[in-house]
Amino acid sequence: MSFQPPKGTDDIIAPESQAWRETLRLWEELSERYGYPLVSLPIFESTELFERGVGDTSEVVTKQMYTFTDQGGRSVTLRPEGTAGVMRAYLDSGSRGAWKAAYSGPFFRYERPQAGRRRQFWQVGVEYVDVAGPVADVEVVELGYRFISDSGLSEVVLLLNSLGDPECRPAYVEALRSYLRDRRSELSADSAALIERNPLRVLDSKQDSPRLTDAPRTIDYLCAACAEHFAAVKSGLERLGIPYEEDPNLVRGLDYYTRTAFEYIATGLDAAQNAVGGGGRYDGLAETIGGRSTPGVGFALGVDRIMLALGAPERAHLDAYLVSETGPGDALEVASRLRAEGIRVDFDTEDRSVKAQFRTAGRLEVPVVLVWKGEGVPMDVQTRDDRVSLPVQEVSTWFRR
Ligand code: AMP
Q: What is the DSSP string of 379-396?
A: EEEEETTEEEEE-GGGHH
- Specify the ligand 1 atom closest to the Cα of 301: 7
- Count of other CB atoms within 10 angstroms of residue 330: 17
Q: Does the C-beta of 10 come closer than 6 Å to ligand 1?
A: no
Nearest-angstrom CA–CA distance, 4 and 115: 17
Q: Is the dihedral of CA 70, 76, 82, 84 positive or negative?
A: negative
Please report the pLDDT score of residue 196 as a whole number: 92
Q: Which of 123, 148, 158 to mutate to test the pocket of ligand 1 (most atoms within 8 A of CB)?
A: 123
Q: Out of 304, 306, 310, give the residue to mutate to test ligand 1, the one with the largest number of ligand atoms within 8 Å of its CB.
A: 304
Q: What is the pTM of this model?
A: 0.94
CB 64 within 8 A of CB 78: no
* pLDDT (tens digit per residue) in 294-350: 999 999 999 999 999 998 667 778 999 999 999 999 999 999 999 999 999 999 999
H-run or E-run covering 224: helix 224-239
Distance CA 108, CA 64 (A): 8
Q: Can you say whether the dihedral through the CA atoms of 86, 285, 107, 139 is positive or negative?
A: negative
- List 297's β-bridge partners, or say none: 128, 281
Strands 345-347 and 245-246: unpaired
Closest CA to 65 of 74, 5, 55: 55
Residue 148 has a pLDDT of: 96
Q: Quick one: DSSP state of residue 132?
A: -
In the sheet that 369-372 helps form, which strands lie side by side, from edge to edge? Answer: 345-347, 320-324, 369-372, 379-383, 386-390
**Ligand 1 center to residue 311 CA distance, Å?**
18
For the CA of 279, the nearest atom of ligand 1: 2
pLDDT in tens, the chain (401 residues): 899 999 999 999 988 899 999 999 999 999 999 999 999 999 999 999 999 998 888 889 888 999 999 999 999 999 999 999 999 999 999 999 999 999 999 999 999 999 999 999 999 999 999 999 999 999 999 999 999 999 999 889 999 999 999 999 999 999 999 999 999 999 999 899 999 998 998 998 888 888 888 999 999 999 999 999 999 999 999 999 999 999 998 988 777 889 999 999 999 888 888 999 999 999 999 999 999 999 999 999 999 999 999 986 677 789 999 999 999 999 999 999 999 999 999 999 999 999 999 999 999 999 999 999 999 999 999 999 999 999 999 999 999 98
